[in-house]
Amino acid sequence: MLLLVGLGNPGGKYARHRHNVGFMAVDAIGDANGFGPARTKFQGELRDGSLGGEKALILKPQTYMNDSGRSVGEALRFYKLDPADVIVFYDELDLAPGKLRMKTGGGAAGHNGIRSIDSHIGNDFRRVRIGIGHPGDKSRVTNHVLGDFAKADQNWLEPLLDTIASEASYLADPDNNRFQTAVAQKLAPPRKPAPTTKEKLAAAPQATTADEPPAKPAPKNPFSALGDLLKGDKS
């Protein structure tokens, strides 16, 4: 069984925050893959479904970000799961907007939701980090993270969430690269096909007669000039 955890803060005023992109990701997965409606359990919202032929649960802790580990720990113990069965989706400042990386274990890197989960179940769970970009100045980080996605962000956010949902079956594979690569390939811009031989010939520059230098006169045979002189000599 898989336990997919989305991190965020509960309540409508936080719904579009960059910090809530984990909630957005698991909602997209549940909606696209036929998960059941949410019910209240483990101090969170829980949905049942399956991915890649494996039973899966989606959990959105309602404890606020800093206490996410309490909800995750309760669910883990109830279902007798291992940390390796847990996949956490969350925002990552140190990734460019729209980039996605998946790994197992590691540090919290200043993310309070991850730090809380670490303290309740250890750090051997799988993580899907969703890039939201860094504002460039440390003093602007809080407002950036706890601010709504800009309108321009929808150009990458919606395709990314749709792709996370469509490729979610790869999450059942313990190889993190399978899911990460599937998402990256689907989001990659289409490659322009190589030109055909006919197209190459049509595009090649064509020489014109106007570009050709004028032909040089053929050099005169010196012996013919001598013959002319002898013909004219009457002595």
Q: For residue 87, give the nearest of 77, 76, 96, 79 by alpha carbon.
A: 76
- Look over the chain and give the mean of its residue pLDDT values, rounded to a whole number: 91
Q: For residue range 147-158, what is the model confidence (pLDDT) as tens digits? A: 999 999 999 999
**pTM of the prediction?**
0.82
Q: CA-to-CA distance for 30 and 23, rounded, in angstroms?
A: 11
- Residue in the structure block whose two tokens are 């274990």: 105
Active site residue 134: no
Domains and CATH numbers, the chain: 2-187 (3.40.50.1470)
71-126 pLDDT, tens digit each: 999 999 999 999 999 999 999 999 999 999 999 999 999 999 999 999 999 999 99
Catalytic residue, from 17, 19, 111, 120: name it.
19
List, for residues 177-190, the tens digit of each pLDDT value: 999 999 999 999 87
Q: Which amino acid is at 97?
A: P
CB 62 within 8 A of CB 75: no
Mean pLDDT, residues 30-51 taken together: 98
Averaged pLDDT, 33-59: 97
